[in-house]
Amino acid sequence: MKAVITVVGKDTVGVIAKVSTACAELNINVEDVTQSIMQDMFCMIMLVNLSHCTQDMNAVRARFDSIAKEMGMELHITREEVFDAMHHI
Amino acid sequence: MSMINTHDILETIGMITSESLDVRTVTMGISLLDCADPDPKKACEKIYNKITTKAARLVPVVEKIATDYGIPIINKRISVTPIAMLLASAPTADPVEYAKTLDRAAKAVGVNFIGGFGALVHKGFSAGDEQLIASIPEALAQTDIVCSSVNIGSTKTGINMDAVKLMGQVVRKAAEITADNQCMGAAKLVVFCNAPEDNPFMAGAFHGVGEPDCVVHVGVSGPGAVRAALAKLPKDAPLDEVAELVKRTAFKITRMGQLVGNLAAKELGVPFGIVDLSLAPTPAIGDSVANILEEMGLESCGCCGTTAALALLNDAVKKGGVMASNHVGGLSGAFIPVSEDDGMIKAARCGSLTLEKLEAMTAVCSVGIDMVVVPGDTPAEVLSALIADEAAIGMVNSKTTAVRVIPAIGRKAGEELDFGGLLGYAPIMPISTYSPSVLINRGGRIPAPLQALKN
């Protein structure tokens, strides 16, 4: 059960730290991280494994929503299957 | 990043967040054929029990898919067997009680709409049909989330003009008795030619007799995503490239619908029916089919060239969507409702989009004269004639057409009606005031068209 966490917005200090700390607390394993600056926007994509997550998705979303609010950035969690369906034939 | 590249990930997130891509509806079709009973009370009890049992988990399951997968799913709906079929065995029943039962059952399971308070009369009326049709205005006034549809014609049978005459009166009455509520009754009523039996979209959804006992259909959306994709094309790109890009985008949109449909069907333990490939607009800015046509190169939707652009769009959406889905059905195409589409509303307001142009557009796209508001003094015969014109376009072109028109009781051209929510708002559009009364009062049937010697 894998998902992709995307964070987009104005770059601030500690984005990766905050997101990965929350992942660790929820027992979500981070498998891959990539980040880039696109048109002055910071953009981080994290592939995570939710198989051993200790909370249900509502709680996970609430936790990450509060981090996104705190950082003033947009954060989305989307299951890997969505990208597979849309971009692989 | 693993198997998926960064560009694809950001494209999907962008489509969902800033281009209003969503799954518009997961609709459960439920057969009520086994609920027929000569005693109306018993029939209603069976209907209530069957719906609340079959659809008990529909809303929580779909909401969980939305949360788990990060896909917005806007509506949960139910379609049922046309209720006229159940009335056939209960000649003394009051059809309004059946509508109220549907309303209660739908509210109990928490869906947004329930469709199927209707009749199929394309060749003639059988027992129950006329009772049901006569009760539609009252049924829609006394319920909140029940939708009604009547099929009055088909390519194989021709057009039942007695039913057309009746439906003009019914549409007008539905508006009259809900005049204090934006004439809402007429906004929940569709008159079809060639109605599909597996349509997940309202107000025309019903569960056809050829369908399984219970099934799940999905309706996708995404005009905003198509428009955004086209905006990135240079303005001198040839139309082949435009069509190709629409196809690619429609493919991605439909795959998301297919994924949701598979998940919902598996979780609910019912067969997955179809994905309806429609581009369904909303009144939200940018989520508009009219804006797609304008992005292709029209100054304002409704100008000359609109029908050609729409023909390209409608065909490309289907071509892209067909490959993305195991089973395609429903209405599948671009919807052109006026009140539900920000670009159409603006085009109607500025006068570039007229009722006559809309009628031409319906010859090449999904559905028909949809969510169009006409002056309150429009006589029933004129509404019937508008229905007949649309049905003729559908009948001759072997496609579904429909009329969902709202006479704005007590108001004139230039004023507006506001339905709220996804139904939106629209200016009242002028309609020809010359009378088709003699034609409509003839009744009878327009014979089915020839399927050969096509020119």
Helix (H) or strand (E) holding B77: strand B73-80
Q: Which residues pair with B349 in a beta bridge?
A: none
Is any Cβ of chain B less than 8 angstroms from the Cβ of A37? no
Same domain as B147, residue B241: no
10-residue averages of pLDDT along chain B (455 residues): 75 86 94 97 98 98 95 95 96 96 98 97 95 98 98 97 98 97 97 96 94 95 91 96 95 93 96 92 89 97 97 95 91 91 96 96 91 97 98 95 97 91 92 97 96 78
Is any Cβ of chain A less than 8 angstroms from the Cβ of B17? yes
Cα distances from B409 to residues A66, B176, B339, B345, B346, in angstroms, run 49, 6, 17, 20, 22
Instruction: Count how many domains chain A has.
Output: 1
Instruction: Count how many domains chain B has.
Output: 2
Of B113, B97, B109, the residue nearest B149 (C-alpha)? B113
What is the dihedral sign for C-alpha B125, B130, B132, B136? positive
**Which residue, B152, B175, B193, sits at the end of a domain?**
B193
Taking an 8 Å cut-off on Cβ atoms, the answer to whether B252 and A47 are in contact is no
**Which residue, B152, B176, B193, sits at the end of a domain?**
B193
Instruction: Please tell me the distance in Å from B57's CA to the nearest CA on chain A.
Output: 18
pLDDT of residue A40: 75
Same domain as B91, residue B171: yes
Examine residue B269 and state whether it is found in any structural domain, yes or no: yes
- Amino acid occupying residue A70: E
Domain span at A40: 2-87
Backbone angles phi, psi at B103, to 5 degrees: -60, -45
Of B227, B228, B309, B217, the residue nearest B258 (C-alpha)? B217
What's the complex ipTM? 0.88
pLDDT of residue B2: 53
pLDDT bin (cut points 50, 70, 90) of residue A11 is confident
Give the CATH number for residue B388: 3.20.70.20
A77: burial class by Cβ within 10 Å (0-12, 13-18, 19+)?
buried
For A31-75, write each residue's pLDDT tens digit: 999 988 877 788 999 999 999 999 999 999 999 999 999 999 999
Query: Which two three-digit tokens encode residue B203?
Result: 């107000």
C-alpha span between A47 and A79 (Å, rounded): 10
Instruction: Please tell me the distance in Å from A50's CA to the nearest CA on chain B.
Output: 10
Same domain as B188, residue B274: no
Which residues of chain A neighbour B64 with C-beta distances below 8 Å? 57
- Amino acid occupying residue B405: V
Which residues of chain A neighbour B9 with C-beta distances below 8 Å? 4, 6, 45, 83
Is any Cβ of chain B less than 8 angstroms from the Cβ of A4? yes
Write the CB contacts of B117 (distance below 8 Å, at least 6 apart in sequence): B83, B95, B98, B99, B102, B132, B136, B139, B140, B146, B147, B148
Examine residue B17 and state whether it is found in any structural domain, yes or no: no
Q: Are the C-beta atoms of residues B221 and B21 closer than 8 Å to each other?
A: yes
Which residues of chain A neighbour B17 with C-beta distances below 8 Å? 74, 76
Query: Which two three-digit tokens encode residue B232?
Result: 């990135």
Query: Which two three-digit tokens encode residue B262?
Result: 């598979």
Which residue, chain included where needed, has tokens 């390209």?
B312
Q: Which residue among A58, A77, A82 sits closest to B12, beta carbon to beta carbon?
A: A82
**Which residue, B158, B193, B228, sits at the end of a domain?**
B193
Domain span at B88: 27-193
Count CB atoms within 10 A of the CB of residue B48. 16
Write the CB contacts of B389 (distance below 8 Å, at least 6 apart in sequence): B359
Of B200, B218, B197, B331, the residue nearest B272 (C-alpha)? B218
Taking an 8 Å cut-off on Cβ atoms, the answer to whether B8 and A47 are in contact is no
C-alpha span between A3 and A81 (Å, rounded): 8
Taking an 8 Å cut-off on Cβ atoms, the answer to whether B17 and A74 are in contact is yes
Which residues of chain B neighbour A8 with C-beta distances below 8 Å? 10, 13
Cα distances from B258 to residues A50, A85, B62, B212, B331, in angstroms, run 23, 8, 14, 19, 16
Angle between helices B239-268 and B6-17 (to 10 degrees): 80
Write the CB contacts of B315 (distance below 8 Å, at least 6 apart in sequence): B243
Same domain as B320, residue B237: yes
Is any Cβ of chain B less than 8 angstroms from the Cβ of A74? yes
Q: Which residues pair with B78 in a beta bridge?
A: B28, B114
Taking an 8 Å cut-off on Cβ atoms, the answer to whether B4 and A87 are in contact is yes
Instruction: Please tell me the distance in Å from B63's CA to the nearest CA on chain A.
Output: 11
DSSP string, B192-208: EES--TT--SSSS----
Give the CATH number for residue A62: 3.30.70.260
Please give the residue of chain A at the shortest CA–CA distance from B250.
A86
Write the CB contacts of B196 (distance below 8 Å, at least 6 apart in sequence): B208, B329, B330, B331, B400
pLDDT of residue B236: 96
Q: What is the Rg, in whole angstroms, of the alpha carbon atoms belonging to chain B?
A: 21
Taking an 8 Å cut-off on Cβ atoms, the answer to whether A79 and B252 are in contact is no
Examine residue B341 and state whether it is found in any structural domain, yes or no: yes
Examine residue B12 and state whether it is found in any structural domain, yes or no: no
Which residues of chain A neighbour B260 with C-beta distances below 8 Å? none
Count CB atoms within 10 A of the CB of residue B426. 26
Mutation for testing the B interface, residue in A46, A49, A75, A86 having most B CBs under 10 Å? A86
Q: What is the DSSP letter of B303?
A: S
Same domain as B240, residue B119: no
For A15-26, write each residue's pLDDT tens digit: 999 999 999 999
Same domain as B243, residue B129: no
